[in-house]
């Protein structure tokens, strides 16, 4: 007895059939909702069938679009784009391609120009391989083209501005170590593409060795930390092909990672700040040196003050987590520590002998008068730099035990930069000629500081000072030599 086969349809098959019927019955609604126009072109007869949405995209009501042949198509496409559209259709007809995707402009019913994306595919060919039928769809993309145009304009503007402002970019492949530089970067330093470093490890030819060593260590830590939101920035001295070094600010960010989340690529921008840096240094030198000359002191005091502050902060960089860039900024700020002396009367400031109690009280006000001068500045572009200037100006006469002035601060209530500037000021005052005294020798000055004759300082600062004070004159001379070379 033969076994009857069960041809019943499974519930899942029934559900799929119902789904297909649903979409078939509602196809026009779905197409209308997506905004896609459809067309079907019989190549032999030239007859073109358009969907209602196709006509609506062109600004017509359903059934209103004139003609349904190639002449109507030619009128629809903007003349400037017609050849491009015709070449693609010809390639389909001749069998060169089976489908395509392109963009062109159409002329709407009201005369407006609209960008559309057109996609088509060959639906039939004759025995010779010529297309007999092409079907397709198109979609209005005006808003995308407007965004694209705006982005293109911004990129052009950025390209122009970057060239004007001295902004160059580079790409660093962390897997190979290879570097790629843009034209603005090469122009900034006067090199050709084949003259610059190909890998990061030889970049030290183009950056001052000390700056490169610091930057290498910091970048290694930056990459190791792998913070996707972090940005690395450092001010360094770069070597152009001709002339003296340039001050630049290098800013970098990780932009690519491998499948395991390890950094593989960095993008960096390099901004030429040389003129700004030198102009800023010049203005600071003029202002601070004015104070020194009014006090009948050498303008070299401000440079020694800057260098000593730098040296003392470097000694404590590990304990206080001070980055090299920050130390340089603070050292620059230290030169304005005595700006308030501009407001001190000559009878007090230039007195050759000891000050009376009343005169000393007047002299002490130079800390507060300096802060008033700094606060009176209408525009301070670098708030961080201003903060260091202000705190050093106000607190460089405070002492660790609270016996300083003007605020009687104690211990770490005094910022570490004010503490370093305070020691720098004391040391240089002792080892320099002043209107009221002759200079002490280095050994005499060191003994007075370590013996507590100049007030109480931070024990950590004193430990470092004790360990390096014998080398201090040579360190100062070395930094002064570097300044003259640069």
How does pLDDT run across 439-485, given as a tens digit for each residue?
999 999 999 999 999 999 999 999 999 999 899 988 888 877 655 43
Give all domains of the chain, ordered by start, each with its CATH number: 28-140 (3.30.450.20), 146-272 (3.30.450.20), 276-485 (1.10.3210.10)
Read off the pLDDT of each residue in 401-426 and give the average, rounded to a whole number: 95
On the question of pLDDT at 366 being above 90, the answer is yes
Per-residue pLDDT band for 152 (boundaries 50, 70, 90) equals low
Cis peptide before 53 (omega within 30 of 0): no
Structure tokens at 26: 């509602």
Residue with tokens 């590990």: 318
**Closest by CA position to 367, among listed 412, 327, 404:** 404
Per-residue pLDDT band for 151 (boundaries 50, 70, 90) equals low
The pTM of this model reads 0.50
On the question of pLDDT at 300 being above 80, the answer is no
Structure tokens at 169: 């970019």
Which residues partner with 382 through β-bridges? none
pLDDT in tens, 178-208: 888 888 888 888 888 788 778 887 777 888 8
Read off the pLDDT of each residue in 334-339 and give the average, rounded to a whole number: 88
**Closest by CA position to 461, among listed 409, 423, 431, 404:** 423
pLDDT in tens, 12-47: 566 666 666 665 566 666 666 667 888 889 998 888
Per-residue pLDDT band for 246 (boundaries 50, 70, 90) equals confident
The better pLDDT of the pair 6, 397 is held by: 397
């Amino acid at each position: 007895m033969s076994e009857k086969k069960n041809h019943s349809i499974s519930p899942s098959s029934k559900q799929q059939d119902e789904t297909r019927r649903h979409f078939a019955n509602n196809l026009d609604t779905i197409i209308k909702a997506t905004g896609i126009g459809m067309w079907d072109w019989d190549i032999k007869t030239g007859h073109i069938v358009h969907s209602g949405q196709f006509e609506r995209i062109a600004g017509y009501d359903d059934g209103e679009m004139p003609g349904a042949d190639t002449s109507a198509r030619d009128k629809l496409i903007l003349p400037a784009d017609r050849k491009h559209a015709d070449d693609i259709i010809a390639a389909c007809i001749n069998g060169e391609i089976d489908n395509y995707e392109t963009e062109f402009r159409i002329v709407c019913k009201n005369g407006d120009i609209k960008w559309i994306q057109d996609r088509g595919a060959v639906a039939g060919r004759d025995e010779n391989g010529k297309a007999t039928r092409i079907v397709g769809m198109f979609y209005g993309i005006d808003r995308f083209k407007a965004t694209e145009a705006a982005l293109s304009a911004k990129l052009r503007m950025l390209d122009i501005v970057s060239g004007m402002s001295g902004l160059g970019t580079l790409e660093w492949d962390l897997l190979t170590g290879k570097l790629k530089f843009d034209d603005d970067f090469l122009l900034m330093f006067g090199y050709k593409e084949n003259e610059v470093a190909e890998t990061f490890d030889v970049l030290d030819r183009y950056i001052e060795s000390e700056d490169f060593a610091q930057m290498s260590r910091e970048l290694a830590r930056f990459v190791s930390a792998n913070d996707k939101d972090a940005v690395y920035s450092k001010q360094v001295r770069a070597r152009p092909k001709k002339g003296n070094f340039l001050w630049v600010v290098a800013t970098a960010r990780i932009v690519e990672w491998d499948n395991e989340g390890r950094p593989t690529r960095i993008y960096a921008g390099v901004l030429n700040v040389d003129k700004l840096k030198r102009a800023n240094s010049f203005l600071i030198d003029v202002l601070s040196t004015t104070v020194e000359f009014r006090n009948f002191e050498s303008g070299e005091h401000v440079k020694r003050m800057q260098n000593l502050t730098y040296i003392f902060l470097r000694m404590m960089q590990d304990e206080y987590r001070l980055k090299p860039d920050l130390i340089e900024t603070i050292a620059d700020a230290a030169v304005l520590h005595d700006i308030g002396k501009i407001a001190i009367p000559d009878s007090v400031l230039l007195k050759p002998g000891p000050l009376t109690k009343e005169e000393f009280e007047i002299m002490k006000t130079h800390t507060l008068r300096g802060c008033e001068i700094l606060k009176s500045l209408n525009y301070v572009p670098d708030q961080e730099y201003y903060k260091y200037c202000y705190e050093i100006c106000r607190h460089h006469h405070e002492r660790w035990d609270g016996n300083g002035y003007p605020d009687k601060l104690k211990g770490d209530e005094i910022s570490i930069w004010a503490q370093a500037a305070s020691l720098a000021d004391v040391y240089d005052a002792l080892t320099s000629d002043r209107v009221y005294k002759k200079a002490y020798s280095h050994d005499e000055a060191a003994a007075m500081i370590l013996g507590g004759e100049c007030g109480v300082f931070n024990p950590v600062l004193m430990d470092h000072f004790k360990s390096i004070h014998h080398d201090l004159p040579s360190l100062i001379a070395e930094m002064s030599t570097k300044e003259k070379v640069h």
